[in-house]
Amino acid sequence: MTYEDLAARLSAIDERIADSARAAGRDPGEITRIVVTKFHPAQLVRDLHALGVGEVGENRQQELTAKRAELTDLDLRWHFIGQAQTNKAAAIRRASDVVHSVDRARLADSLHRAATDDRSLDVLVQVNLTEDADRGGSTLADAEALAEHVLGLDSLRLRGVMAVAPLDEDPASAFTRLREVADRIRLLAPDATWISAGMTGDFAEAIAAGATHLRIGSAITGPRPERG
């Protein structure tokens, strides 16, 4: 894709985001659009940055670490959105500004132990909206207990919740469940105002349900190259 095509796709998506926000009676300015750049080369991230993108998302630790190292000259906020192995927690912490996928107490503990200075790490509790335990995320029933656990770890700053919509359900109803758990967690942690939800195929429904952070990949970057 040429730089001009990328620019056009980015502004088209931003227009659709703004339209969806207004349709939901929301201020588009309160919604953060994270561009998911997984499997794409660092040059694409460089082009996005030149187009004003400040927030990027990656789902694999090694790729995140490599791209971040290659792009240290750019002012970017890096979001880790993938399933995290506990033994990669230190590397994830080093390479991330925000970790969206804290789905169990052991991972939170490992991220906490990996702190090397006084800066706290922004984290979200990932909630699994499906019945499939392999999809990643805490169950809805366990999410509040996990949030309380995170609140006890002083190097982590709980910012809210994250989820991916199920494939076999209307995203609007799934995101309603996410919104409910987000509201309950906010009673425990008034700072935890973020709802990370909405991808290329379902960001309008996510915005209607209150999403504050969208994770959009292919609508902006085009199809992903084969997984390497």
Ligand X SMILES: *Cc1c(COP(=O)(O)O)cnc(C)c1O
3-state secondary structure of 124: strand
Q: Is 215 in the site for ligand X (CB under 6 A)?
A: yes
Number of residues that bind ligand X (CB under 6 A): 13
Q: Is 216 in the site for ligand X (CB under 6 A)?
A: yes
- Of 72, 8, 84, 81, whose CA–CA distance to 45 is shortest? 72
Cβ contact 37:17 at 8 Å:
no
Tell me the two tokens of residue 205. Answer: 């429904």
Among 20, 59, 65, 96, binds ligand X (CB under 6 A): 59
Closer of 67 and 113 to ligand X (Cβ): 67
Closer of 110 and 128 to ligand X (Cβ): 128
3-state secondary structure of 99: strand
Closer of 6 and 148 to ligand X (Cβ): 6
130: left (phi over 0), alpha (psi -120 to 50) or beta: beta
Among 21, 81, 161, 204, binds ligand X (CB under 6 A): 81
Label each residue of 24-67 as H, E or C. CCCCHHHCEEEEECCCCCHHHHHHHHHCCCCEEEECCHHHHHHH
In angstroms, give the least distance from the CB of 17 to ligand X.
Answer: 12
Mark residues 96-135: x for contact with ligand X by CB under 6 A, - for none.
Answer: ----------------------------------------
Q: Which helix (H) or strand (E) holds 7?
A: helix 3-23
The residues in 18-47 that bind ligand X, with binding defined as CB under 6 A, are 36, 38
Among 199, 204, 206, 211, binds ligand X (CB under 6 A): 199
Q: What residue type is assigned to position 83 of the chain?
A: Q
Cβ contact 59:41 at 8 Å:
no
Q: How many CB atoms lie within 10 A of CB 176?
A: 15
Among 17, 45, 164, 206, binds ligand X (CB under 6 A): 164
Closer of 130 and 200 to ligand X (Cβ): 200
Residue nearest to ligand X (CB): 217
In angstroms, give the least distance from the CB of 196 to ligand X.
Answer: 8
Contacting positions for ligand X (CB under 6 A): 36, 38, 59, 81, 164, 199-201, 215-219
